[in-house]
Structure 1
Amino acid sequence: MPHEPGPTTGTTAHHEPGSTPPTTIHKEPGPTTSTTVHHEPTPPTTPPTTTAPPTVAQLSFGCMSGFTGDQGVAKCGWSQSKAPNFGHYRLTHELVGTPRQTVFETSDLGTTYYYDIGLQAGAQYSYIIEAYDTAGNLVGRGGPVHVTCCGGTATT
């Protein structure tokens, strides 16, 4: 009596990305039994798209000190930011030995100077100007500029 082939069976296993690739086994009909194993390739993963942070432009920046009345003052000026999505400027100063603090912020692109009033005579200050875009990324920076208050004699 001749051998009749039996039904073909197949099994496919599904897997999550990152796990072991699935194996498919096919039973071939015929007088002899053979098994073929196929490994399905894991599809490549596409890395997430990221936007590089903006380039930080150098802002021209300078400060000079003096007195106004009996108070020490530093006038700091900087070049206007060229960032297309400008958000704001932040001017900080640090009295040597103390934490840096914000002394001025503005969202007005055209404002390019500030008078820091109330400085201690003979004290050394370090100033930095920074420009940020509307997303909060640093896009421009000037400094640090070091100033010893107050470079001139008192004027009234």
Structure 2
Amino acid sequence: MGFSAVIILAQIVTAVPVGVAFGVAVYVTQPESVAQATLGTLATNGLFLSLTVLVTTPPCVGLTFLFAWLRRRQIPVRRYLGLGAASARRTAVWLGATVLFAGAATALALVVPDPIASNFMVKVYETSVFPPLMVVAFVVAAPLFEELLFRGFLFEGIRRSRLGAAG
């Protein structure tokens, strides 16, 4: 759990300079009223979120590999992080489950008129400035880090701790 806390702390520490740099850039390039409005909506600012994800992911992924490597005597890095190819059958099953889930989520979105999540994503997309950057951040970088840290590193660490597999 200690190494995981260091990785999460590293993510926070690397995100702070992004926020400061973004805030300075907005204040320098925008009139004060626009800058205040922009900075007040950072939680839905697509450019800010994309840059934060892209800046924090490399050091956090690097730390995850480093800490897994430090435990290499207990278990190989690839196995510790759960890196390995899935069988064709398992891939087909999960792709099918994903398609079914996407269909069910779409059907539910058509029935339930409360578009809270979609409004959030619309705002993020509208403020992304360069949508391909947002796609790389949200579809590649964020899932890469999340899977390595939680499904790989943290899960294996808990499994090997006193808590065991049930922990």
The answer to whether the superposition gives a TM-score over 0.5 is no
Larger radius of gyration: 1
As a proportion of its length, which structure holds more strand?
1
The normalised TM-score by structure 1 is 0.19
Comparing both chains, which one has the higher relative contact order based on Cα–Cα distances under 8 Å and sequence gaps of 6 or more? Answer: 2
